[in-house]
Structure 1
Amino acid sequence: MPALTRPSRRARLTHTVGLMVALATAAATPAVAAPQNQRLTVVELFTSQGCSSCPPADANLVTLSRRPDVLALSFSVTYWDHLGWRDTFGKPEFTRRQYAYEPQLGERGPFTPQMVVNGRISRVGFNLAEIEHAISSAPTLSGPHITLGSREVSIGRGAEPAAEADIWLVAYDPNIVEVPVRRGENSGRTLPHVRVVHRLERLGGWDGMPLRIARSETPPGLRTAILVQLPSGGAILSAVTE
């Protein structure tokens, strides 16, 4: 894959065996929904159907999505679309989200596949052992309590952040979606995706004081998550999902 800013020369290893094992494990393990008030670890995968190194990471996210203590989210970026295949889930706002993370995480630029844990830790997404270690070592989210209703979101009182935190609504598909790729680096392959994000919307800001904020209705078939996060790619303070 040709270089962009720094994309993944390091992520071009072949992990076919790991992919097969991850898919087999995922298929054998039933998905479990997390209760709203459980302290979650947020794992964001930045991926692309046009990246030959991404399928093992997509499979790893399937495995992680089975854990009730993990909120796994898949963001499809757009900067590999020029390689011959336009990612069917890619949106510019997802690419912007990844770009915002990189300076905060000490990365020189975006790459795929990248997993970000709680907005604090960056790892290459195809190494499941490294991701699981990052999850186990990540500080527990200790931000405000979130109540997610059908028409509004309530954020509780908490320590005032240094800068107003963002309140993000994330609408995602909880199911595994099989995507046949007809061109580009993954031509001829059918790639499984899970927890694909379809919408990312900033609802407002949180300054430590309790508030209620209206939310739009989630389209049928999708689920909603709410993230309270420090601005400009900062740490995630709290998270909840349906």
Structure 2
Amino acid sequence: MSVPRGIRNLGGAAVACLALTGAQPVVAVDQRGPVVVELYQSQGCSDCPPAQEYLNRLADRPGVLALSFAVTYWDQLGWKDSFASPRFTQRQRDYAAHNGGAGVATPQFWINGRETILGANIPRVETAIAKAALAGPRIAAAGNHVTIAAGHAPAAADVWVVRYDPRTIAVAISAGENGGRTIPHRDIVRELVQIGHWNGAAEMLTLPQPVTGGLATAILLQDGKGGRIIAAALAR
């Protein structure tokens, strides 16, 4: 696990000091939905390649939605990550803020937004996946609409659209801690857009612009910023 220079501890959680100033396929999943495994990593972090390599393998596992979020707080330490976004860094911080003391570092896994594993501790991630379950409403997507069935809702449930690249993209790193290495990436998140809220009633929402550039789409229903994932769906 790596915490770059510029990270300080506030209230027990490590916080980055860098300022963040045509019809498509029908999607339908059972009520459990896929287990959502989010990896927060950076091409500038020497501890991250084993975690990304594991996520690359996990991307092919049925019943799992593997998502790789590239964070920005390594970008000024020798190498600027080619996929990083302040939005993804903020999402990691939201998890830390919601789960006091969880910390912010790389690599870091979040399983269904409930359990976190710092470092490339693959056995612990596997254990978390094995016991993870979703019990939210059914989600479906057709054309440019997402429908969410009625069910029990928390006070604030957010609906997110995630666009990610399922292909293997090999990036040659020429500087920083991983200088001289070529790191393959899969399921790199390129877009993260909140499209609405869910209050427990049946809901229909409009998707953003159609998918382009070979990106895949997933829908996440989440209990507020940094909260648990309630339900998820994959667009195949």
Letter in 2 for 1:208: G
What pairs up with 1:132-211 in 2 under 5 angstroms?
132-138=126-132, 140-161=133-154, 163-211=155-203
Scaled by the length of structure 2, the TM-score of the pair is: 0.86
Matched, 1:114 2:98: no
Aligned to 2:8: 5
CA distance in 1, matches of 2:173, 2:121: 23
CA distance in 1, matches of 2:163, 2:126: 24
Structure 1 counterpart SS, 2:227:
coil
Which is further off, 47-56 or 96-105? 96-105
Which is further off, 212-221 or 67-76? 212-221
Q: Tell me which stretches of 4 or more aligned residues in structure 1 moved more than 2 Å.
A: 103-109
Aligned to 2:68: 74
Structure 2 counterpart SS, 1:231:
coil
CA distance in 2, matches of 1:143, 1:80: 35
CA distance in 1, matches of 2:8, 2:201: 39
Aligned to 2:205: 213
By relative contact order (CA 8 Å, sep 6+), the higher-ranking structure is: 2
Structure 2 counterpart SS, 1:42:
strand
CA distance in 2, matches of 1:185, 1:3: 15
The 8 Å contact of residues 5 and 109 in structure 1, kept in 2 or not, is answered as no
What pairs up with 1:34-45 in 2 under 5 angstroms?
36-38=28-30, 39-45=33-39
CA distance in 1, matches of 2:75, 2:214: 26
The 8 Å contact of residues 102 and 116 in structure 2, kept in 1 or not, is answered as no
Letter in 1 for 2:202: P
How far apart are 1:103 and its partner, in Å? 2.8
Structure 1 counterpart SS, 2:56:
helix
Scaled by the length of structure 1, the TM-score of the pair is: 0.84
Question: What do the CA deviations read for 1:101-120 (whole angstroms, capped 9, x no partner)?
Answer: 01333435310000000000
The 8 Å contact of residues 49 and 181 in structure 1, kept in 2 or not, is answered as yes
Distance 1:92 1:214, change over 3 A: same
How far apart are 1:62 and its partner, in Å? 1.0
CA distance in 2, matches of 1:193, 1:210: 37
Which is further off, 175-184 or 103-112? 103-112
Count of matched residue pairs: 212
Which protein is richer in helix relative to its size? 1
The 8 Å contact of residues 28 and 138 in structure 2, kept in 1 or not, is answered as no
Aligned to 1:229: 222
Q: Root-mean-square deviation (CA), in Å?
A: 1.4
CA distance in 2, matches of 1:132, 1:108: 19
Structure 2 gaps of 5+ residues are 10-26
CA distance in 2, matches of 1:107, 1:193: 29
The 8 Å contact of residues 107 and 119 in structure 2, kept in 1 or not, is answered as yes
Structure 1 gaps of 5+ residues are 7-34
CA distance in 2, matches of 1:181, 1:134: 31
How far apart are 1:127 and its partner, in Å? 1.5
